[in-house]
């Protein structure tokens, strides 16, 4: 049984520090019936290098969080709070950095993820790290402590020499009516106590001389851009084809209940992404790579909104009055839509000379009812949004383990190897948002359905740096990205490129809406 919230996801991973991990109660005989409720607070402190301070001063808000696989989970914004330094405070999170001496502190309540402290491209080892948890354990576990049938798993330590995971476990010792454990090793100090009613606390302290564990993923080479004014745009489509206009509103965070069904059907939600720089394409040794993925530096000078989900069948129907999809489902992505249906075959065929669309096309109707220039993304915008700061094959910070089916890809999207996993309630493509999002909150960037981009396809994008690239001036095929539900894992990577004539429709081809600021 995993103790939820008491020690939930309490792994602190430092590329040059020790590793704390989930606390789990394991049992040899008895079965635990429910989860534990509680609170966890993480506190870190240490000193930034001069290089990190310089990066912070130049990039204004380049402090970010990444997990132990190098995937950015969130990017907190740091504003200059005074001449003394930078800081931010939101919910249970508080960050403070002194601009001269580089002293930093971090407090995070209700910890729910794996953390590393990153400034620019530099991962910082905290001098001090304390994780304190409190909550309630099921009394059945307490009974199992008495008979030594339950074990507390305290620490998953990455061993530097082998890269393997070692488990440190113990059975709490009875002390009167309580059960306790205390250990102070060279790297970590652990204290645990639980009483007969199930009330429990645990404290983990990372000691200054902690050994360096192996880094199990690839360190992000390109940190995500400074994220300021993180916003979500919401377009209300509920009025359907009879509506004279679609109202637009904004959210400064994901709703408390998450992205419920309405955001996948009667509303359309987009996430704001700041301008930035990244390496487009894939390294020569990436598994499943094709020759048209030559790496080159791309700079995007304008922020944009990107659809959190692929456009769904209900959203398409509310805008256009029909549903062309072959595999039906309101919250499934719309497919059997061509580039010409989305933008139009007349004015809409003019990219990159202009950004016009046909009035009767999907984007023509959406633009008319919102007074906003919604469009498909350029190929560069799509890959930038997909990667969300990662440089690996997948936007989770992981690479492929196989070219046809891949467990790592199955975490973030639907492809041939996992199209029967029943997530989202369907085979083939499935309900949008059924897999893990990337660090910028975008779902299904790997698989489910192919996604149209604006650009004419050109085999070689070259290795020279590019700024706001728009693709070739003419061509035969338009670009598609993402891969689809019936594609191999290698065809669903962040850098993978597809090309199709703009009038073609397929039951694995859809799209996502963008809006450049």
Contact 448, 484 (CB under 8 A): yes
Residues pairing with 467 in the sheet: 299
Tell me how long the chain is: 517
Rounded Cα–Cα distance for residues 75 and 326 (Å): 38
Amino acid 299: pLDDT: 96
CATH class of 232-516: alpha beta
| H or E element at residue 484 | none
Determine the Cα angle at 81 with ends 76 and 85, to 5°. 85
Residues pairing with 156 in the sheet: 167
Rounded Cα–Cα distance for residues 459 and 470 (Å): 14
Rounded Cα–Cα distance for residues 72 and 223 (Å): 8
Token pair 């249970």: residue: 92
Residues pairing with 79 in the sheet: 87
Residues pairing with 478 in the sheet: 456, 500
Q: The dihedral of CA 183, 187, 189, 194: what is its sign?
A: negative
Domain boundaries, the chain: 12-206, 232-516
Rounded Cα–Cα distance for residues 212 and 86 (Å): 28
Amino acid 256: pLDDT: 84
CB-CB neighbours of 316 under 10 Å: 24
Rounded Cα–Cα distance for residues 276 and 151 (Å): 48
Q: What is the 3-state secondary structure (H, E, C) of 338-377?
A: CHHHHHCCCHHHCCCCCCCCCCCCHHHHHHHHHCCCCECC
Strand-strand pairing, 199-206 and 188-195? antiparallel
Structure token pair of residue 457? 């396809």
Amino acid 154: pLDDT: 38
Amino acid 226: pLDDT: 35
What is the CA 491 to chain-centroid distance, rounded?
A: 20
- Identify the CA nearest to 7 among candidates 40, 44, 49, 51: 40
Structure token pair of residue 334? 């719309």
| pLDDT tens sequence for the chain (517 residues) | 122 222 222 222 222 222 322 222 222 222 222 223 455 566 666 666 666 666 556 554 344 433 332 333 333 444 444 555 555 554 455 666 665 566 656 565 654 333 334 444 444 455 566 666 666 666 666 666 666 555 554 333 333 333 333 334 556 677 777 777 676 654 556 676 777 776 777 665 655 443 333 222 332 323 333 333 458 999 999 999 999 999 999 998 898 889 999 999 999 999 999 999 999 999 999 999 999 999 999 999 999 999 999 999 999 999 999 999 999 999 999 999 999 999 999 999 999 999 999 999 999 999 999 999 999 999 999 999 999 999 999 999 999 999 988 999 999 999 999 998 989 999 999 999 999 999 999 999 999 999 999 999 999 999 999 999 999 999 999 999 999 999 999 999 999 999 999 999 999 999 999 999 8
In Å, what is the CA distance from 187 to each residue of 205, 208, 306? 9, 8, 43
Amino acid 231: pLDDT: 84
Torsions phi, psi of 320, nearest 5?
-105, -15
Q: Which residues 6+ apart lie within 8 Å of 130 measured at CB?
A: 42, 43, 203, 204, 205, 206
Rounded Cα–Cα distance for residues 184 and 257 (Å): 41
CB-CB neighbours of 90 under 10 Å: 11
Coil, strand or helix: which one is 450? strand
Cβ burial of 457 (10 Å; 0-12, 13-18, 19+) is buried
- Global pTM reads 0.60
Q: Which residues 6+ apart lie within 8 Å of 31 measured at CB?
A: none
Amino acid 28: pLDDT: 27
Q: Which residues 6+ apart lie within 8 Å of 148 measured at CB?
A: 171
Rounded Cα–Cα distance for residues 29 and 31 (Å): 7
What are the DSSP calls for 375-437, one per residue? Answer: BPPPHHHHHHHHHTT--SSSTTS---S-SS--HHHHTT---GGGTTS-GGG-SSS--TT-S--
Cβ burial of 486 (10 Å; 0-12, 13-18, 19+) is middle
CB-CB neighbours of 251 under 10 Å: 14
Q: Which residues 6+ apart lie within 8 Å of 176 measured at CB?
A: none
Rounded Cα–Cα distance for residues 208 and 440 (Å): 33
Q: Which residues 6+ apart lie within 8 Å of 401 measured at CB?
A: 407, 408
């Amino acid at each position: 049984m995993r103790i939820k919230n008491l020690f939930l996801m309490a792994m602190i991973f430092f590329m040059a520090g020790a590793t704390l991990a989930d606390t789990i109660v394991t049992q040899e005989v008895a079965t635990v019936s429910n989860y534990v409720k509680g609170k966890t607070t993480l506190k870190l402190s240490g000193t930034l290098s001069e290089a990190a301070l310089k990066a912070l001063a130049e990039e204004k808000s380049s402090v970010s969080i990444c997990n132990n696989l190098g995937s950015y989970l969130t990017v907190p914004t740091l504003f200059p709070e005074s001449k003394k330094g930078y800081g931010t405070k939101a919910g249970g999170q508080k960050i403070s950095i002194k601009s001269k001496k580089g002293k930093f502190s971090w407090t995070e309540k209700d910890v729910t993820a794996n953390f590393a402290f990153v400034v620019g491209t530099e991962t910082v080892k905290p001098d001090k790290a304390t994780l304190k948890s409190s909550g309630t354990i099921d009394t059945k576990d307490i009974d199992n402590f008495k008979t030594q049938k339950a074990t507390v798993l305290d620490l998953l330590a990455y061993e530097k020499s082998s890269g393997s995971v070692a488990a440190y476990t113990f059975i709490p010792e009875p002390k009167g009516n309580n059960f306790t454990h205390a250990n102070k090793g060279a790297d970590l100090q652990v204290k645990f106590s639980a009483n007969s009613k199930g009330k429990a606390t645990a404290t983990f302290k990372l000691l200054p001389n902690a050994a360096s564990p192996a880094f199990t993923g690839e360190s992000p080479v390109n940190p995500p851009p400074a994220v300021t004014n993180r916003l979500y745009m919401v377009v209300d489509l509920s009025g359907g084809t009879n509506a004279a206009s679609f109202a637009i509103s904004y959210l400064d965070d994901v709703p408390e209940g998450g992205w419920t069904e309405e955001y996948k059907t009667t509303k359309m939600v987009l996430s704001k992404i700041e301008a930035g720089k990244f390496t487009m394409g894939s390294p020569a040794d990436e598994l499943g790579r094709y020759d048209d993925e030559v790496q080159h530096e791309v700079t995007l000078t304008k922020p944009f909104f990107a659809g959190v989900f692929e456009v769904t069948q209900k959203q398409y129907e509310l805008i256009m009055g029909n549903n062309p999809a072959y595999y039906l489902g309101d919250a499934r992505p719309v497919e059997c839509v061509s580039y010409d249906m989305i933008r139009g075959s007349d004015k809409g065929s003019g990219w990159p000379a202009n950004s016009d669309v046909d009035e009767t096309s999907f984007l023509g109707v959406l633009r008319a009812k919102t007074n906003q220039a919604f469009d498909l993304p350029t190929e560069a915008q799509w890959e930038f949004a997909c990667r969300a700061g990662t440089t690996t094959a997948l936007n989770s910070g992981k690479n492929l383990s196989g070219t046809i089916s891949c467990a790592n890809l199955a975490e973030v999207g639907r492809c041939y190897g996992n199209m029967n996993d029943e997530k989202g309630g369907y085979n083939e493509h499935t309900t949008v948002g059924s897999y893990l999002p990337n660090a910028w909150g975008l779902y299904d960037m790997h698989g489910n359905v192919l996604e149209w981009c604006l650009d004419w396809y050109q085999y070689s994008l070259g290795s020279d740096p590019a700024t706001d690239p728009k693709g070739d001036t003419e061509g035969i095929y338009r670009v598609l990205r993402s891969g689809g539900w019936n594609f191999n894992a290698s065809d669903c990577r962040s850098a993978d490129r597809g090309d199709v004539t703009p009038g073609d429709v397929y039951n694995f081809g859809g799209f996502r809406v963008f809006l450049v600021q």
